[in-house]
Structure 1
Amino acid sequence: MLNMPSTVAEDAAKAVELKNEGNVQIKKLNYPKAIEFYTMAIELDGTQSIYFSNRALAHLKLDNFQSSLHDCETALKLNPKNIKAYHRRGLSYVGLLEFKKARNDLQVVLKGKPGDTTATRALEVCEKFIREERFRKAIGDDGESNKARFCETVRLDTFDSNADLLKYEGPKLTLFQLSDEKGDCAGAEISDMNPEFISKLVEMFTQGKNLPKKYAAAIVSHANRLFRKEPTVVELCNRETPDAKITVCGDTHGQLYDVLNLFRKFGKVGPKHTYLFNGDFVDRGSWSCEVALLFYCLKIVYPHNFYLNRGNHETNNMNKIYGFEDECNYKYSSRIFDMFAESFESLPLATIINDDYLVMHGGLPSDTSCSLEDFKKIDRFSQPPREGAFMELLWSDPQEADGFGPSQRGLGFAFGADITKQFLEKNKLKKIFRSHEVRMSGVQFEHDGKLATVFSAPNYCDTQGNLGGVIHVVPGEGKLLQNGNDDENLIVETFEAVPHPEIKPMAYSNGGLGF
């Protein structure tokens, strides 16, 4: 249709229809489809600023910050007075963690639309980040040196007079204050965490109740110590015990009720069932504290059957933007958030299963000489840098084209099937499992079947309508052709979202933007 001869007027009229259909898809929350319609409109008439700024909104909703930025810049060239383009470019810069540039655009928005709620909140976030950065530079601190070790130095007795502890009627724990050879505090230990406590904890969470801060602090401190003892690349194996299943799960993003359903559907954690959650278990969803505490309790009870890889949302910048910090401050305290933030730095970056499957949250590094041995040498106990293998393991995505391309997110790179094949051959692996992106089918095999994206947050953010998925590693007991599987050692299963209380995503967020 687009190649048929037509007058400029006919093209322009058709472009308006396509733009309007894109707007309909935005209202339906079908952002990929909206991008398709806006793109067709632009192909017919590339002179309309609004087409680009509308497509920028759809890209924002998909966290494609770099693509959104490009569209906003084109929109502003066509119409320098397009206030929505300034607004969306400002939010794109926030997503790209370029807060000074974001501040400039948001100030323009607020001059034209004083009191705009979203722009005001976004500007407050930017000002906070800029102040923190200015303070670090003033004291000569790079943000990593001489950091307080909150989990290791926590004093449990400082929580004893808190009202939440005095009024607590839930399941009890026995907590111990650890100390070093000098008698200084060295973290907390829980002696009697067990499956019964976890069951009662889940019941309490589904009743909308919180743990006392003292319990939360002890749980995070104890779990952090376990994570720190693990290597940067964890190695799991069930080749000799095929009846012991290993289940790989993707993003869960604070969707507690779907996490609980996942365990009901696929089985509880135990000596015969190991779970690996592949990052992004906080942010977005409004039960991120509950999911994190549940996972940490499972780690304490089943240290050799429950594992967590770090995702790009287990980082300070993401937590400040996407809601976890605000939720943690609301339900617990800034001190508990600081402990969580430290524990996130302790999480492994990747896992190898049976010397066959590499599992990491994002994607492969842009340095093709980088190997598994190089991954193992990464000093992970920090916030990830803006470039390099550490960051790319958390941020990069696959693409259809070969080679490397720019990331639509603006962080990391897009990598092709040839890069995946080369890495697998070089490191003698069969497949890569990664997460980081919604897949409507829950699990999607890509790159000639050598890479699988697994996403375990069904109906993501209550809007996407996607299935959740998991991959079970069961040597010799796999189900071929099921959900695209071609491996006799794998079972690929999906699940639907379940009802939850009427609390919207990011419900506790003060500065979270939602995009």
Structure 2
Amino acid sequence: MYMLYSHNLVSGHFHESIEKYSAAIDLNPTVASYWSNRSFAYIKTEAFGYALVDADKCIEIDPKFVKAYYRRASANFALGHYKESLRDFHRVAKAKPRDKDAQKKFKQCQTLVNKMLFEEAISSDREGAKSVAEGLDVDSMHVEDSYEGPRLVDGKITKEFVEELKTHFKSERRLHRKFVYQILLQVMTYFKAQSTLVDVKVPKDGKFTICGDIHGQYYDLLNIFELNGTPSETNPYLFNGDFVDRGSFSLEVILVLFSYKLLYPEHFYMARGNHESTNMNKMYGFDGEVKAKGSDIMVELFHEVFRTVPLAHCIAGKVLCVHGGLFSEDGVTLNDLRKVDRFREPPDSGLMCEMLWADPQILPGRAPSKRGVGLHFGPDVTDAFCKLNGLDYVVRSHEVKDNGYEIHHDGKCITVFSAPNYCDQMGNKGAFITVRGDDFTPKFTTFGSVPHPNVKPMAYASPFSMFGL
């Protein structure tokens, strides 16, 4: 039994592994390795809260089970609990003094924690100082004669520019930094003027498309446009968060999306996801990718832009779209969401946190989140929220689904995820939703992944995002 389940872990069938280890634990909850291996599977599915619980249980059964400390360290690091993580990696290193990998991981963690603490201290010292956006002198940036790529004319986005940009990126070429900065500064100005919750109108004879997570899978993004048509004034889109991280073409994804936002500001919408945040970008690849393809200053400017992106959209007063989900308290209204202060990094609790991190559950009520952040909310929570706010249903993203989507809570909560074969290993379909202005019954289109250049997902990620492998 143990060998069979271990094969599932190695081959990437993590959800199946969770089910089988859960069954094994029900039969014999005293086997430490079952808890440790399920903790590993939870880490791989980003259920870091559950991973911590299982690692703690394994340690309770067998305090000398070294892998459990490794699992707990990995989960804590992913949650930003760096000191707790370092403490457990130190335990692993002490328990295995001749294990070169254990020593390496401890030293890496120690170095990274010290670096992050230093960056946090520098950031605190800079509070109130001029932002990167305010300090940029884009006009003085010179575009070399040797540059052969798309150019903004008088700083303006045109349809021709976006089409050329998509082709340029498809050929793995870079956009000149001057044009990157111009796009970022313009889109930040636009986002700053928007409400935290944006109201979207759909003409009665019009179509509207909702996409979920893209996660840096640029070539799959292009495939969506092939399948459903390019964005335009008659083909509007909403991208519901997690544009970046994981996939190694995140810079290409976000610049194309921002360009479409500027080209069609009233017909192209973007909502912030939990991965549009500084901590996640440091871990899961976006920071590293932008530094490799751009610069440290460009990274900081992206962080400033992400802090301005709206958190939710209400389509025709009938459908609420938000990246994560619903709330830990009853009685939350759409007006409450409009008042949320989003111009910051996501907090660990409250409405903003829940909008970015929450997940639906089958059982009524609420429960602690498997992720260690946010919460799980049941069908009664969704029903009450929709009734209070006059909504037909809620669309959210945030979770991989085998078919690219899943219908929850008697149709009142829908998950859509648009990154097929997530991280080149999950085997899932992607999906998008279309609705019409005279019929808000959701129509689902599923699609598979398409080939991409030989650059692996997570190529730019922190080594600690790979812990548990």
Stretch moving more, 32-41 or 345-354: 32-41
Q: Which residue of 76, 94, 99 corresponds with 2:82?
A: 99
Residue 455 of structure 1 contacts residue 468 of structure 1 at CA under 8 Å; is this kept in 2? Answer: yes
After superposition, residues 465-476 of structure 1 pair within 5 angstroms as 465-476=427-438
Aligned residue in 2 for 1:170: 149
Residue 29 of structure 1 contacts residue 464 of structure 1 at CA under 8 Å; is this kept in 2? Answer: yes
Aligned residue in 2 for 1:69: 52
Aligned residue in 1 for 2:192: 228
Give the counterpart letter for 2:413 in structure 1: L
Residue 47 of structure 2 contacts residue 372 of structure 2 at CA under 8 Å; is this kept in 1? Answer: yes
Residue 99 of structure 1 contacts residue 130 of structure 1 at CA under 8 Å; is this kept in 2? Answer: no
Aligned residue in 2 for 1:197: 161
Cα-Cα RMSD: 1.8
Give the counterpart letter for 2:233 in structure 1: P
Residue 78 of structure 2 contacts residue 465 of structure 2 at CA under 8 Å; is this kept in 1? Answer: no
Residue 60 of structure 1 contacts residue 68 of structure 1 at CA under 8 Å; is this kept in 2? Answer: yes
In the alignment, structure 1 residue 54 sits paired with structure 2 residue 37:
yes
Q: Which residue of 176, 181, 205 corresponds with 1:217?
A: 181
Aligned residue in 2 for 1:86: 69
Q: Shift of the alpha carbon at 1:129? A: 2.3
Cα deviation code 1:435-463 (max 9, x no counterpart): 00011111211011100000000111111
Partners of 2:172 and 2:90 lie apart in 1 by 39
Partners of 1:291 and 1:399 lie apart in 2 by 31
Distance 1:512 1:174, change over 3 A: farther
Partners of 2:324 and 2:153 lie apart in 1 by 38
Cα deviation code 1:194-224 (max 9, x no counterpart): 1211121111112111112111111111111
Partners of 1:48 and 1:165 lie apart in 2 by 64
SS for the counterpart of 2:411 is coil
Q: Which residue of 263, 266, 274 corresponds with 2:225?
A: 263
SS for the counterpart of 1:273 is coil
Q: TM-score, normalised by structure 1?
A: 0.86
Q: Which residue of 154, 157, 161 corresponds with 2:136?
A: 154
Aligned residue in 2 for 1:482: none
Residue 365 of structure 1 contacts residue 389 of structure 1 at CA under 8 Å; is this kept in 2? Answer: yes
Partners of 1:75 and 1:450 lie apart in 2 by 38
Q: Shift of the alpha carbon at 1:102? A: 0.7
SS for the counterpart of 1:312 is coil
Distance 1:301 1:166, change over 3 A: same
Distance 1:420 1:332, change over 3 A: same
SS for the counterpart of 2:205 is coil
Tell me the number of residue pairs that the alignment of Structure 1 and Structure 2 aligns. Answer: 463
Q: Shift of the alpha carbon at 1:158? A: 5.5
Partners of 1:35 and 1:119 lie apart in 2 by 28
Runs (4+) of structure 1 exceeding 6 A deviation are none
In the alignment, structure 1 residue 495 sits paired with structure 2 residue 459:
no
Distance 1:203 1:120, change over 3 A: farther
Residue 255 of structure 1 contacts residue 288 of structure 1 at CA under 8 Å; is this kept in 2? Answer: yes
- Gaps in structure 1 of 5+ consecutive residues: 1-16, 176-189, 478-487
Residue 165 of structure 1 contacts residue 214 of structure 1 at CA under 8 Å; is this kept in 2? Answer: no
Q: Shift of the alpha carbon at 1:110? A: 3.1
Give the counterpart letter for 1:217 in structure 2: Y
Q: Which residue of 496, 508, 514 corresponds with 2:460?
A: 508
After superposition, residues 359-438 of structure 1 pair within 5 angstroms as 359-438=321-400
Give the counterpart letter for 1:474 in structure 2: R
Distance 1:147 1:414, change over 3 A: farther
Residue 48 of structure 2 contacts residue 370 of structure 2 at CA under 8 Å; is this kept in 1? Answer: yes
Q: Shift of the alpha carbon at 1:136? A: 5.4
Q: Shift of the alpha carbon at 1:369? A: 2.5
Aligned residue in 2 for 1:14: none
Give the counterpart letter for 1:21 in structure 2: L
Aligned residue in 1 for 2:249: 287
Q: Which residue of 215, 238, 249 corresponds with 2:211?
A: 249
Give the counterpart letter for 1:86 in structure 2: Y
Distance 1:123 1:511, change over 3 A: farther
Aligned residue in 1 for 2:237: 275
Residue 103 of structure 1 contacts residue 127 of structure 1 at CA under 8 Å; is this kept in 2? Answer: no
Q: Which residue of 354, 357, 364 corresponds with 2:319?
A: 357
Q: Shift of the alpha carbon at 1:122? A: 4.1
Q: Which residue of 110, 116, 119 corresponds with 1:132?
A: 119
Distance 1:71 1:282, change over 3 A: same
Stretch moving more, 244-253 or 78-87: 78-87
Q: Shift of the alpha carbon at 1:71? A: 1.0
Residue 351 of structure 1 contacts residue 359 of structure 1 at CA under 8 Å; is this kept in 2? Answer: yes
Residue 151 of structure 1 contacts residue 224 of structure 1 at CA under 8 Å; is this kept in 2? Answer: no
Q: Which residue of 393, 403, 424 corresponds with 1:441?
A: 403
Partners of 2:86 and 2:105 lie apart in 1 by 13
Partners of 1:27 and 1:284 lie apart in 2 by 19
Give the counterpart letter for 1:151 in structure 2: A
Q: Which residue of 207, 227, 234 corresponds with 2:171?
A: 207
Give the counterpart letter for 1:168 in structure 2: Y
Residue 212 of structure 2 contacts residue 239 of structure 2 at CA under 8 Å; is this kept in 1? Answer: yes
Distance 1:256 1:166, change over 3 A: same
SS for the counterpart of 2:307 is helix
Q: Shift of the alpha carbon at 1:288? A: 0.4
Residue 361 of structure 1 contacts residue 393 of structure 1 at CA under 8 Å; is this kept in 2? Answer: yes
- Gaps in structure 2 of 5+ consecutive residues: none
Partners of 1:93 and 1:302 lie apart in 2 by 41
Partners of 1:320 and 1:333 lie apart in 2 by 14
Partners of 1:135 and 1:173 lie apart in 2 by 35
**Identity value in percent:** 38
Q: TM-score, normalised by structure 2?
A: 0.95
Q: Which has the higher contact order (CA 8 A, sep 6+)?
A: 2
SS for the counterpart of 2:321 is strand
